[in-house]
Chains A and B, each alone.
Chain A
């Protein structure tokens, strides 16, 4: 649905993105992740046909974003980062304007505007001036205008920034509901958001793609070893020594104690196989009490930091 091919953009001497390539399948939600200034917004602006790239090519819904910009814009709903809306218009008149501009016929306009207002939960604000709305409602009006005329591709630049936790959940749910009928690219730097809503993640740093994968695979791949969280009631010295002796265990560290006084350990085990059963058996055989045992996954934050710093080190 979206094909980005060796895209670069320079602002004078400043390189915003360099040789960026990735693709998005129809019906997929792609998370666009990167630190500030990584080139997320620039990439999105190129994909929406707002600005041309310096070199490379991007195809959206089968049309080239530069040569067939009008066709592309007809098929893309865009929510820019700061949600720039005309403050002096009411919600309803603004959405009617966008509907008209997007080529919805006069007869269809009230119905379609009504639909997106309901979908984004702004029907109660219909008569209010956009300038007087709270940030959360403005965000929703921005999403509503992007959804007008049901574009197959949605490009959302930080759709949940500045919202309260309830609104974030609402907007995420709305975006999730769009899956299948729409192809969505959303940029964010809230990492849990990505694991919750996105099918795949593109991590970019310094204008270049660092990784493209599903959130699960990313965590899996970046983790150098498996990690196990363990709580055992028993003689600490003996437990430590015994665990260390198990084949496949790389390191054991004691991490304080839980509230009931049992010691907490973190085991690093080989990546080749799941060691949980072996550890459990070993402890029970010794007659100690096994209180808790679970696999620990690297959080996406850690993956992200790791990938981004690796990149910097590789450059240095």
Chain B
């Protein structure tokens, strides 16, 4: 019964999110995000039909849908990257390099596993494979978030909502998938309910955050023009200021 409620609540919220997105014009602003939501909604409805009329194929259909949403969810980060960092070329470059570093690390891990004779993508169970992909995804999310926090990138309610919701989604899924490989743990039974509830919370966060588009539009127009001196000059100035502070401090300490 609880599962049914969560399922239908999810479908209702996804529909509401899409309707609000279309009416408020946010679909144009975050096309990949809304594609993701649309895909999840379609998947939920298809899965419901499969569960009802072709239960034998449910497991296979579930994993196909799951990997589809996982892939589209990764593209969601591109929306954040495109919308937020477009106006900050310096931060965009840092984020790009950080993401490349994360993916290079993941690729290196694959190569190392291969050299030991194990294939990363042929994990023992689909849960393990999804968990591995989620770990890479979570590092990418964290990289974007860290860059945004360090560079104090202005973010409206819409972006904060998308990132908060997505972080919760990835985090709860990661915990669930990791616990699944430890069947003896008592928390598994509880967490199998917590994760769907988390998903409904995620949808609530997204619906509230993306209810109105006004804030995002006014914020964009208030940004300063990107006219700046060279980065080398800026670094020199900052290092001079830091050296002054540091030398003064160390003079006290060393005296």
Q: A and B: partners? A: no
